[in-house]
Structure formats: structure tokens, C-alpha cells
Homo-oligomer: A and B are copies of this chain.
Amino acid sequence: MPRIITISREFSSGGRELGKRLADELGIPCYDRQIIDMVAEKQGLDKNYVANMSERDVKVFYNSTIGRGFTSYNFGINQSLQIANAEHNLIRELAEQGDCVIIGRAADVILKEYNPLNLFVYADIDSKIARCKERNQEKESLTDRKIKFMCRDIDKCRANYREMFTDSKWGHRESYHLCINTSGKEIKRLVPALASYVKNWFE
């Protein structure tokens, strides 16, 4: 059975970087945004549109369409579920191809039958603000308050998305095998030992 590592993460905690570096260290592929690109291509949809839809969950979509009529609501939900379904099929196809790291998209739930090693990456708010600013140096408009709002909002979407497919909770330690706090740490320094942990886990 392929060795699958899934990364769930708080927004701006460094989870994506950790996943990529971990995959490099293990010499296996890492799937992240490529999933969106591949789904967009398969569905004949715009990449940004898919990215936007797959970040949102049906619950959030429902709230944003209240008062816009049933047709718009219904179309939105269908589209959202269709994209989620295409993503899940693709994630299963990728897992079938062999060992890999998959970031986000509730892959830990979707790939449950593969017994993946599920990691959760988190950090304190100061570290997340610093990381977000460093990553978006050109965007001067990103105030601390705005970043805090983004962190809360995006994490809420991720939690809601996960809860559409399982009753195990996003971010609750019992849903994961290892929860990694990256506050104030350089991700690259944490990765070699994590790679050893992964190897031992699957031995």
C-alpha cells in the first residue's frame, strides 16, 4: 500500500512549506495547487474559479447566496459539490500512483482506507502574522487586523469543508497522528526529524 502523508494546516502556519520540504526530503511528490489545476483542466473550468469554489464550502456558499433566489443557490451548491467530487476522485487517483504528500482538501478523510499519516500544522497568531507579511511583502494593505481576520476566516472555511465529509473535527488533535507547532521556528529545521518520524511510522 502506498505511504500517504496528509497535511492539514492553519492558514499561514507554514504547513504548505512543511509539506513540500517533507516530500523533497522523502523523495516523493507533493500535491497541492496542482490538484486545482488538474481539476480545472478536466472540468473545462477556469483555474481561479475552481480555486475560489474549492476554498468555499457549501455552508459558506449557502450563506452568501441567501436572498439571491433558489436557482443561483442551487447552481452554486451543485458546482461546489461537483468540484469537491472531482477533487476527491483525483486525490484517490494520485494516491494510487504511489507514496506522496497531499496538502489540504480533507485528504486525510478522503484517503482513510490507505491509513495515511495525518499531520496538523499550527502556529501562534504572531508567527502567522509575521509569515503572512513576509510572503506578501508587496501588499502593503495587509494590516495585522486584516491578517487575523483572514486567518480566522480561511480556517473556518477549512473546518467547514472537512465537516461536510466526516464527523471528526478539523484541528482537533484526535483527528491527527502528529500536531506540529511552527511558532517562531524555521520550517526547514524541523523537516529532517519529521522525515525520520514518517519513515519509522510506516516501517
Contact = CB atoms under 8 A, between A and B. Distances in A.
Identify which of A179, A194, A203 gathers the most chain B CB atoms within 10 Å of its CB.
A179
Contact of A181 (B177, B185, B192, B199): B177
A193 B171 CA distance: 23
Contacts of A181: 173-174, 176-178
A180 B183 CA distance: 17
Interface in A165-203: 171, 173-174, 176-181, 183, 185, 189-190, 192-194, 196-197, 199-201, 203
18 contacts: A120-B173, A122-B174, A124-B174, A173-B173, A174-B181, A176-B181, A177-B181, A178-B180, A178-B181, A185-B201, A190-B200, A190-B201, A192-B200, A193-B193, A193-B194, A193-B196, A194-B197, A197-B197
